[in-house]
Every structure is written in structure tokens, then in C-alpha cells.
Amino acid sequence: MKIFGTDGVRGAVGKWPMTPEFVLKLGWAAGMVLGQGGRRRVLIGKDTRISGYMFESALEAGFSAAGVDVRLLGPMPTPAIAYLTRTLRGSAGVVISASHNPFQDNGVKFFSATGEKLPDSVEAEIEELLESPMTVAAPNALGKAQRIDDAGGRYIEFCKSTVDIGLSLANLKIVVDCAHGAAYQVAPRVFMELGAEVIRMGVEPDGLNINDGVGSTEPDALIGAVAAHQADLGIALDGDGDRVLLVDADGQVLDGDILLYIIAADRKHRLGYGGGVVGTQMSNLGLELAIKNLSMPFIRARVGDRYVHESLKQHGWLIGGESSGHILCLDRHTTGDGIIAALQVLAAMRHEQKTLRELADVVRIYPQTLVNVRTERKIDLDNPQMNAAIRQVELAMGDTGRVLLRASGTEPLIRVMVEGEDSAQVAQFAQDLAGVVRDIAAR
């Protein structure tokens, strides 16, 4: 059995593993493993998908059967559950979310008592226990459930505490797009309470519209709103609030690579940060060169914020992230947080007295084309046909480009990425390689 991907368990609702029966047993197995020791209490939060109610009830029953108490947080961003797990002294935190996926999907991911992603060894323990028959604690030892009513307020205060107490966002007009997701209540309030004029977007969840035409994966609506309201910038979160991208006053999208550079440069110039920066295999070559121009080391981890986190811990560094907008500032939080990352960028704007565009223009982003090839079965990309095609592209680009092929950790996709100086050439090479992948998959 291998149910855990790079970000917990995820799949289509009603199909294994995202069935109520399986999630019930997953809650029991996780309770048996994570509820060991003195603290037998877990926190459960969710995004706004209609299926969240069903899976919340299933997890609650599973944890109760394992003798573990449950604290229900309701719709809350993923990083909020990580924070509240620590402060409310839970033995673990659980998030019901499929992040940026459409409402038809859902998932379950876990945080440890310290608010960090579970190590592979603990996930393996849970998977092993799922092979065993489910047991039920004695009637007097069953877990109890309780709702936490002030979770949102606690998290808002925490977000505000990650910037200097004197920071004011007064005279900034910001469009905040919450993707009809988990941050729809808390995110606008954070920026408003710091003084900004906030135009709310994506704050009317109906259980079915999460990430639908809004949020960090579909920024066109935010670009239009920034122009229509003549805003200084826009902030787009994804469905569970752990990713972010920004849009400047001219409608230009700033992805995670540019945001990561702005935060790193601010830490270096203002605080004398002496560590390095961790990106991923997908991070743009322009980010790598810009970070090195700051005289800071830069390394690449595997794709997935958990691997960025692992690399940061190994090197004793604090700042890392992904192009997709997962930004980790370990001097502020234990996990990637879209609201907190946006606040760090806004703080840099105030410290430098510059616009978002002025801060972003330092980074020269190389043209990059990403083609997702959907596959119905697992395919081996390490074969002579694929290797020959990749070598041909790499020879054509020389030292000014990169090629990366990888299987998605959350969807049945092969991601083909080509990066180089010439956008037309890059796009053609990406389509050529995607065609080879399709040919291999069709056999």
C-alpha cells in the first residue's frame, strides 16, 4: 500500500482512497499512531469543499474509535492548522483539502505536534496499520469532540505578529482573492487590520466553486480586478491558503520565484541574513542567478514543499519555496503560508519604499514552458527514446537552458518543463518532448 503522496492522501471523491469508509479507517490508524504518549488530542480543519463535511465526520469517528479527542476548527487555511496544533498542544493536526484541485477532489494531510509535515517513517507506520483490522477503544476511553470557536481570531493575530509591530499598510489598496477557499474569512481581515484598503474576491464559497476561475492557479480574474479598482496590487491564494502569487499595479503576475527573491533580498539587506535559499527543480534559472548575485548560496530540492522544508532543516537555513507559490519562512512559521508570505513581501515594499514592480524587476525570469501530459498508467521515462529526445534538446540549448520531466505527486500527470533564453524555441521543445511522452504512454 502507498497512499501518501507528496502532500498527504488525495483523490477523486467517492473513489479509493477518498471514500468515507477508507477515511474512517485512516482516522483510526492515524489516531493509533499519532495519539501515542501523553497528549491524545488532534485538531481537524478543512477547506470549503462540500465533501469536507462527510470526511470531517468520518475522521472524527475514526479518531474517537482510537481513543483520541478531536478539536474541530471548521474552514481554516492549512497553515492555520499547523499553527493551532502547536499552540493548542495537539498531538497532531489534520487538514481536509485538495489544495488547488477542483471541488470533485479532496484529500487528507497531517501535521505533527510541532506543526511540521509528517516524516516518511510516520506515514509508513500509518499505512502499515491500515492493513490491520480496525479496533475500537473501550466505551469509557472513546475520544470526545469539541468545536473551537475562536480559531480564526487566533490565526489572524499570529499572521500579524510575523511583521514588525510598527508596520502599516495604510494608503495601499489591495485586492485579496481567496479562491472561494479556506482563507475566505481570515485573509481579508489580516490585511485590513494592518491598515490596507481591501477589495475582497473569491469569498463566497458554495461547496462547489473552490478554485473555479479564481485563486492562484487562475489569476486572470484578479488581474482584471486590480485594473478595475486601480489597486496597488493583488494577492491570490489557493483553495487551502498555503500558496500565493501577487499581481502588480500593471497586471503583471509575480510567481513564487519572484516573491522568494524579494523576501530573501529583504532578509539579507535589512536583517543581515547569512543563510542560503532553497528552490526546487522547477525554480526558474533567473531566480538562481539573482540569489547568487546577493552572494547567497542557492540549492534545488525535489518538487514539493516538504522536500524544500527538509533541505532547509538540513542546512540550517530559513527561506525557501516553489514557483507555484509555496513560500517557507521558517523564522516566521513551520510551514508554507500564503498570507504570511504576502505579508513579508508587503513589509519589504515598506522597508525599501519601493513598488512591487520595482522590487520584482531585479529578477530576469527566463522563458519557461510547462506541458502537462495526462497518463492513465505509470510509465517509465528512463528509456532510450526519451533520453535521446532530452539529449537533443539539451545540446541545442547548451548552458542557457534546462529540461525537466517528472511525474506529479498529486495527479496522474507527467510534467514536461523546458527553460531557456528563446521563448519560441522553449515552447517548441516542450511540445516536442510532450509528444514523445504521449507516444510512450500510448504503447
DSSP of 332-364, one letter per residue? T-SS--HHHHHHHHHHHHHHHT--HHHHHTTS-
* CB-based contact 419:401 (threshold 8 Å): yes
Cell 473555479 -> residue: 212
Grid cell at residue 443: 504503447
Euclidean distance between CA atoms 20 and 14, whole angstroms:
8
Cα angle at 311 between 307 and 312, to 5 degrees?
Answer: 115
Query: CA distances (Å), 19 to each of 43, 217, 424, in order?
Result: 21, 26, 44
Do residues 400 and 421 touch, judged by C-beta distance below 8 A?
A: yes
Active site residue: 51, 91, 97, 99, which one? 99
Please answer whether residues 85 and 95 qualify as being in contact, where contact means their C-beta atoms are separated by less than 8 angstroms. Answer: no
| 57: its cell numbers | 465526520
The answer to whether 386 and 436 are in contact (CB under 8 A) is yes
- Per the CB < 8 A criterion, the answer to whether 73 and 59 are in contact is no
Here the cell at position 250 is: 500593471
DSSP 195: T
Q: Decide: helix, strand or coil at residue 59.
A: helix
What pairs with residue 358 in β-bridges? none
DSSP 117-134: BPPHHHHHHHHHHTTSPP
Q: Any catalytic annotation for residue 132?
A: no
Show Cβ contacts of residue 100 under 8 Å, excluding neighbours closer than 6 positions. Answer: 211, 215, 216, 217, 238, 239, 243
From CA 80, how far away is CA 83, in angstroms rounded?
A: 5
CA 44 vs. chain centroid, Å, equals 18
**Which residues participate in catalysis according to the annotation?**
99
